Amino acid sequence: MAENTNLQEQYRKKKNKEEMKQQVITFVLMILFTVIAFGMVIYELDKLFVIPTLLILAVVQVGFQLYYFMHMSHKGHEMPALMLYAGAFVAFLTVLTLSVLIWW
């Protein structure tokens, strides 16, 4: 019984260490993306390059926030993830609908 508890403790420590490593790497990447975004704007690069690149960096950072810092990748978070994605989909449809109405 004590051996089983010891193995569970070792597994938990290993899992926590791996998760912390992933969070630190993600945090460093997010800081790097932010520095890149500021650099592109400060150096006044071409808008046709900057705007799509900023949008891509923003989407990647949102993904990092959801999956690593809000723990959406863990088991048991299926319903909150579903609600979040449904809300994002409804927001996208609303923006798309209003954009089409304004343009036509």
Average pLDDT score over residue span 69-91 = 84
Pair 63, 36 in one domain: yes
Can you give the pLDDT at residue 34?
Answer: 94
Burial of 71 (0-12, 13-18, 19+ CB in 10 A): middle
pLDDT tens-digit profile of 20-48?
A: 898 899 899 999 999 999 999 999 999 99
Q: How far apart are CA 33 and CA 58, in angstroms?
A: 9
**Domain that includes residue 79, residue range:** 75-104
Regarding whether 83 and 101 lie in a shared domain, the answer is yes
Same domain, 84 and 50: no
pLDDT of residue 1: 67
Can you list the alpha helix ranges (DSSP code H) found in 1-104?
Answer: 2-42, 47-64, 78-103
Q: Are residues 18 and 66 in the same domain?
A: yes
**How many domains would you assign to the chain?**
2
pLDDT at 68 over 90: no
Q: Which residue has the higher pLDDT, 85 or 104?
A: 85
Same domain, yes or no: 53 and 66: yes
Same domain, 42 and 6: yes
Per cent of the chain over pLDDT 90 is 49
